[in-house]
């Protein structure tokens, strides 16, 4: 079927259910998800491919595009992909997490439909089922600015996506078995850049080429499993222009710490001697340093990359200072990166404060990770569907977790669905407190938030005077250093059921995640689209009559 035909069909269905908006262009993808064998670290291993590619194909979209992705799951297990950082305004139905969607059964296909509404920037997608992310099926997702909206820098010669991440030579099934048996995952075996690691034997193919004198955009995302990575390019500086959907103040950096789940867009000018250069990603805060390399080649350049790669900074104070240097460019026009929040977020009164403390401990002899003493378990019936079909009490309870900043969380970990009830439009302050010795990264679906502070020690209300209430970045991830805290501010105005999770898949898989239920109490279409006709059903809602649709 031609793209045009399909578009017409989708437009006809708008009146009833579809979230595809007719005025805005639609881009279509058909993805075949299969197992394959590759040797990213030199030894053959099982990987997950999308249309034969590892990493998966890039999604190149423009603000307000409707994105339609028909995913054929040819694995032998249920599968879902989430679109990290896509805000899914009014649309919790296509978010690709187990709390809102039934996984795509093996041997079948499902078509995601969502709009990249009012967003720009560098994002990614990855699978959230089992430990599939340890095998692939991840890739870049970019949202270009519409032509009529100026971007605060000259158009680059080309636009490159760089997926970096630590990597295991064990299969996703082996890793899952470790976790299921109650053990933690060991250290990773290497670091990959776009699925490869240069050997430095003179035979490496370049990952990217540059023309002398031209400026290129590189979008760097850490899709790894365990480690923060420091990213740098031999002999070249990087001018930061955007982070997770916000145009930044354009500082220049020799290297960037990219924590898991984070994306940065930088400009790099090819103004050095024309030859090969290494781009380097190496693990941070780890006992032994793992390094991944890739080659950037100057067109018509002569000579190999120097084997001497620049060193990464040491310690996390450097990283904290770098975080503080990231500022929102308040004068750059853009699709509002945070349509739901106010531009003047510092002037809004906080309606609720929520404190979340991560922990790790054993339950019945098996390792679990928790938030405020609760280790999340995904029920077979997705939370969102249970709520929509009116059978919530059979599946989960709201607010079993204590989130008041004064309360001390239970020492003993309980395993159950962890779902917070947040009133729609509340302006909420979330404090992440990390009592552990390792760095944490958190991500929230359905929103971006203002990352106003990251500091060592414990949070107290007095610390609010240290918040950046003027030009903090609006983004969707936040790192919390060891024995430190972080604060974010946001308006919960997107109705739905939204996943807040550790960006380390091991911690997420073993329970360090929760859902935020932002109820569409009036069942109004103004707050939330109806469940699409094509939505998969499973668990207790399978076979149940569909609830009456939302009205105006």
Interacting residues with ligand NAG (CB under 6 A): 32, 34, 60, 62, 70, 72, 74, 109-111, 144, 152, 249-250, 329, 331-332, 349, 398, 421, 423, 519, 534
Closest approach, Cβ 110 to ligand NAG, in A, equals: 5
Q: Give whole-number Cα distances, 365 to 77, 174, 180, in Å.
A: 27, 20, 11
Give the C-alpha separation, 185 to 504, whole Å: 11
Q: What is the rounded CA–CA span in Å between residue 132 and residue 171?
A: 9
- For ligand NAG, the closer CB: 325 or 421: 421
Instruction: Tell me the C-alpha distance between 59 and 69, whole Å.
Output: 10
Q: How far is the CB of 206 from ligand NAG (least distance, A)?
A: 17
Instruction: Report DSSP letters for 256-323, one per residue.
Output: EEE-TT-EEEEEEE--S-SSEEEEEEEESS-SS--EEEEEEEETT--SPPPS-PPPPP-SHHHHHHHH
Reported in sequence order, the residue ranges of 392-448 that DSSP labels E, i.e. its strands, are: 414-416, 419-422, 427-434, 440-444
Least Å distance between CB 95 and ligand NAG?
16
Going by C-alpha positions, the residue among 283, 294, 286, 159 that lies closest to residue 224 is: 283
Between 62 and 291, whose beta carbon lies closer to ligand NAG?
Answer: 62
Enumerate residues 6+ apart whose C-beta is below 8 A from 100: 92, 93, 382, 383, 384, 385, 496, 497, 499
- Give 74 or 438: the residue with its C-beta nearer to ligand NAG: 74
* Residue with the two structure tokens 């569409």: 520
Toward ligand NAG, which CB reaches closer, 152 or 339? 152
Nearer to ligand NAG, 34 or 468 (CB): 34
Q: Which two tokens stand for residue 67?
A: 């994105």
Q: What are the beta bridge partners of residue 114?
A: 67
Q: How far is the CB of 159 from ligand NAG (least distance, A)?
A: 6
Whether the CB-CB separation of 507 and 488 falls below 8 Å is answered with no
DSSP secondary structure string, 344-387? TGGGSPP-EEEEEEEEEEEETTEEEEEETTEEE---SS-HHHHH
Q: What is the signed CA dihedral for 336, 342, 345, 351, rounded to 10 degrees?
A: -140
Could you tell me the smallest distance in angstroms from the CB atom of residue 31 to ligand NAG? 9
Q: Where do the DSSP E strands lie in 417-542?
A: 419-422, 427-434, 440-444, 449-456, 474-475, 477-480, 484-491, 496-502, 513-518
Query: At 167, which helix (H) or strand (E)?
Result: strand 159-167
Shortest distance, position 313 Cβ to ligand NAG, whole Å: 23
Tell me if 264 sits within 8 A of 220, measured CB to CB: yes
Residue with CB nearest ligand NAG? 152
- Residue 306 or residue 423: which is nearer to ligand NAG going by CB? 423
Nearest to ligand NAG of 160, 285 (CB atom): 160
Which is nearer to ligand NAG, 361 or 423 (by Cβ)? 423
Burial of 445 (0-12, 13-18, 19+ CB in 10 A): buried
> In angstroms, what is the minimal distance from the CB of 71 to ligand NAG?
8
Nearest to 487 by CA among 325, 348, 353, 318: 353
Q: Which is nearer to ligand NAG, 178 or 398 (CB)?
A: 398
Kindly list the distances between the CA atom of residue 162 and the CA atoms of 205, 207, 478, in Å, as whole numbers in the listed order. 15, 9, 20
Which of the 8 DSSP states describes residue 2? -
- Residue 392: CB minimum distance to ligand NAG, A: 7
In the DSSP assignment, the letter for residue 428 is E
Residue number with CB closer to ligand NAG (312 or 419) = 419
Q: Measured between alpha carbons, how far is 252 from 266 in angstroms, rounded to an integer?
A: 9
Strands 252-253 and 238-243 come out as antiparallel
In angstroms, what is the minimal distance from the CB of 228 to ligand NAG? 25
Q: State the nearest-atom distance from the C-beta of 237 to ligand NAG, in Å.
A: 15
Which residue number, 376 or 443, has a Cβ lying nearer to ligand NAG? Answer: 376
The residue among 144 and 237 lying less far from ligand NAG, judged by its C-beta, is 144
* Helix segments in 389-463, DSSP class H: 392-395
Nearer to ligand NAG, 175 or 518 (CB): 518
Cβ 387 to ligand NAG, closest distance in Å?
Answer: 9
- Rounded to a whole number of angstroms, the minimum distance from the CB of residue 249 to ligand NAG is 4
Question: Smallest gap, in angstroms, from Cβ of residue 211 to ligand NAG?
Answer: 16
């Amino acid at each position: 079927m031609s793209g045009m035909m399909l578009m017409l069909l989708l437009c006809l269905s708008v009146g009833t259910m579809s979230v595809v908006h007719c005025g805005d262009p639609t881009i279509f993808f058909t993805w075949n998800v299969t197992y394959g064998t590759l040797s990213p670290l030199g030894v053959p291993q099982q990987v997950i491919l999308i249309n034969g590619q590892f990493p998966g194909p890039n999604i190149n979209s423009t603000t307000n595009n409707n994105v339609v992705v028909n995913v054929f799951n040819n694995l032998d297990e249920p599968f879902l992909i989430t679109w990290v950082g896509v805000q899914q305004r009014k649309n919790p139905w296509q978010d690709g997490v187990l709390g809102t969607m039934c996984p795509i059964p093996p041997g079948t296909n499902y078509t995601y439909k969502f709009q990249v509404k009012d967003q720009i920037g560098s994002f990614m997608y990855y699978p959230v089922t089992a430990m599939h992310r340890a095998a692939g099926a991840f890739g870049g997702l970019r949202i270009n600015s519409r032509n009529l909206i100026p971007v605060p820098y000259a158009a680059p010669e080309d636009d490159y996506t760089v997926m970096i991440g630590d990597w295991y030579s064990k299969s996703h099934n082996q890793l899952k078995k470790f976790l299921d048996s109650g053990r933690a995952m060991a250290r990773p075996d290497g670091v990959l850049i776009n699925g490869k690691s240069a050997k430095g034997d003179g035979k490496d193919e370049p990952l990217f080429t540059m023309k002398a004198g031209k400026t290129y955009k590189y979008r760097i995302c850490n899709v790894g499993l365990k480690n923060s990575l420091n990213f740098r390019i031999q002999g070249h500086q990087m001018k930061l222009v955007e982070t997770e959907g916000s145009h930044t103040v354009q500082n220049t950096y020799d290297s960037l710490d990219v924590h898991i789940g984070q994306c940065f867009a930088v400009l790099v000018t090819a103004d050095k001697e024309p030859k090969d250069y290494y781009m380097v990603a190496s693990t941070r805060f780890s006992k032994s340093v793992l390094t991944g390399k890739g080659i950037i080649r100057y067109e018509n350049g002569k000579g190999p990359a120097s084997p001497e790669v620049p060193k990464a900074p040491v310690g996390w104070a450097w990283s904290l200072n770098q975080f503080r240097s990231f500022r929102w460019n308040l004068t750059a026009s853009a699709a509002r990166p945070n349509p739901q929040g106010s531009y003047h977020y510092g002037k809004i009164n906080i309606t609720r404060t929520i404190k979340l403390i991560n922990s790790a401990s054993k339950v019945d002899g098996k390792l679990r990770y928790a938030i405020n003493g609760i280790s999340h378990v995904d029920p077979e019936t997705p939370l969102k569907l249970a709520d929509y079909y009116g059978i919530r009490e059979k599946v989960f309870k709201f607010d079993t977790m204590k989130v008041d900043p004064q309360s001390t969380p239970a020492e003993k970990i309980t395993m159950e669905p962890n779902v917070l009830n947040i009133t729609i439009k509340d302006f909420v302050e979330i404090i992440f407190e990390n009592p552990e010795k390792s760095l944490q990264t958190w991500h929230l679906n359905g929103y971006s938030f203002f990352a106003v502070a990251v500091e060592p020690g414990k949070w107290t209300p007095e610390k609010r005077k240290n918040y950046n209430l003027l030009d903090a970045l609006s983004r969707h991830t936040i790192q919390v250093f060891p024995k430190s805290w972080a604060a974010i501010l946001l308006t919960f105005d997107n109705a739905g059921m939204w996943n807040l999770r550790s960006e380390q898949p091991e911690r997420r898989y073993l329970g360090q995640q929760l859902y935020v239920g932002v109820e569409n109490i009036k069942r109004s279409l103004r707050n939330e689209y109806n469940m699409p006709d094509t939505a998969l059903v499973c668990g207790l809602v399978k076979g149940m009559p569909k609830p009456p649709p939302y009205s105006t």
